[in-house]
Amino acid sequence: MVGAPPADVRDRVATTGIPAVERLPQSLGDVAVPLRAVSADDMMADVEVLFRAPSCAALAVQGDGAAPVGLLTRHRFTAAMTGRLGYGRAVLTRRPVGQIADWSPLVLDAATTVVDAARAAMARAAGVRHDDVLVPGPSWSAASTADLVSALTAAVSQRAARDPLTGVLSRPHLMATAARWAAEALPGTRRRLLLAAVDVVRMEDINATHGLDAGDALLRELASRVASAAPSGAVTARLDGDAFAVLVLLPAVPEERAQEIVGTVRDRLRGACATLGAGVRVATTASTAGWADATLLLLEVERDLRTARTAGTAPHAAPLQARR
């Protein structure tokens, strides 16, 4: 079997060849955490004890029927107890907490998307823009604005890393992975990087004859087959319109054995796509032992695909010692 990447990389890679996707928060309920509830009649001195716990950033304040729940953040509580002239504690210690709670907090259903929740939170007045968002349920919970922004950032990052049509990784992610493996996994070893590329013969004719929807379906199927045929630990990505690539970290083996592995990977890709209903080309290139340049590998494999398009034939791997 083809060698796997370093442990820290391998643990994030599924056996299909597509790195496992961490499930990101989609709704407000995914981000919200349970809140401790206090009564609006509880004394400020009693509530102060709760805020001594670092994990307590906010409390749900239960009032009467006209104002069923309020929000009391640590920031709001501290500001009130300090007071403008420093006399807040002396004045408020024996007063009920309901006097300083926010009785008109932003309340959103747990099913609200993270995007909509963040938009609503940031649309509030400046003084309360960073307060928690309350979420009703069997018990009250809340999501901080910081957590909402973090969830949005993670979603954007993941979306940028993947091709929206096929779900495989993007070209920039492939290049970043190749550069990282070249820098961290190859030096001082006999390992090398293998890059294999697959594209569809005359994809433009398929789109013209059968329509763009059929072409998209073909690309999704091709991506799935390429990912399934990729060795365990490999990274699968979309290079451009109809081209996909597989990046593999080869084990430290003699030259002849490395050639055999390259051929095996190439044959597996061809075999997986043989019954696709469209012709495919497969190009492979591998680095020298112990060193690789990600950009040169990609340029070479794309050059082989272009050569094959012109010649109308499927490219074959050149000797490994000629590769970078």
pLDDT digits (tens, 9 = 90+) for 79-89: 888 866 555 66
User: For position 11, what pLDDT does the model report?
Assistant: 36
pLDDT the model gives residue 88 = 61
- What pLDDT score does 291 carry? 93
- pLDDT given at position 202: 84
Spans of all domains in the chain: 7-21+162-322, 28-154
Cβ neighbours of residue 257 closer than 8 Å, sequence gap 6 or more:
none
Closest C-alpha to 148, from 138, 137, 159, 134: 134
Residue 306's pLDDT is what? Answer: 86
Q: What pLDDT score does 138 carry?
A: 86
SS3 of the chain: CCCCCCHHHHCCECCCCCECCCCCCCEHHHHCEECEEEECCCEHHHHHHHCCCCCCCEEEEECCCCCCEEEEEHHHHHHHHHCCCCCHHHHHCCCEHHHCCECCCCECCCCCEHHHHHHHHHCCCHHHCCCCEEECCCCCEEECHHHHHHHHHHHHHHHHHECCCCCCECHHHHHHHHHHHHHHCCCCCCCEEEEEEEEECCHHHHHHHHCHHHHHHHHHHHHHHHHHHCCCCCEEEECCCCEEEEEEEECCCCHHHHHHHHHHHHHHHHHHHCCCCCCEEEEEEECCCCCCCHHHHHHHHHHHHHHHHHHCCCCCCCCHHHCC
- Measured between alpha carbons, how far is 79 from 82 in angstroms, rounded to an integer? 5
- How far, in Å, CA of 142 to CA of 123, rounded? 17
- Look at residue 134 in the predicted model and tell me its pLDDT: 93
Q: How many CB atoms lie within 10 A of CB 305?
A: 23
Per-residue pLDDT at 319:
37
User: Do residues 122 and 129 lie in contact, with contact meaning Cβ atoms separated by under 8 Å?
Assistant: yes
Per-residue pLDDT for the chain (324 aa), expressed as one digit of tens each?
Answer: 333 333 333 333 333 343 444 556 788 999 999 999 999 999 988 888 898 898 899 999 998 765 578 999 988 888 888 866 555 666 777 889 898 899 999 999 999 988 899 889 989 998 888 889 999 988 899 998 888 888 887 777 666 678 888 889 999 889 999 999 999 999 999 999 999 999 998 888 888 888 999 989 999 999 999 999 999 889 999 998 899 999 999 999 999 999 999 999 999 999 999 888 788 889 999 999 999 999 999 999 999 888 877 665 444 433 343 344
3.10.580.10, 3.90.190.10, 3.50.50.60, 3.90.170.10: CATH of 28-154: 3.10.580.10
Tell me, what's the pLDDT at 18? Answer: 39
Handedness of CA 184, 290, 18, 162 (dihedral sign): positive
pLDDT at 78: 86
pLDDT for residue 250: 94
Please report the pLDDT score of residue 90 as a whole number: 65
CA-based angle 246:250:252, to the nearest 5? 175
Per-residue pLDDT, 290: 93
Domain 7-21+162-322: which topology?
A: Alpha-Beta Plaits (3.30.70)
Rounded Cα distance, 203 and 66, in Å? 65
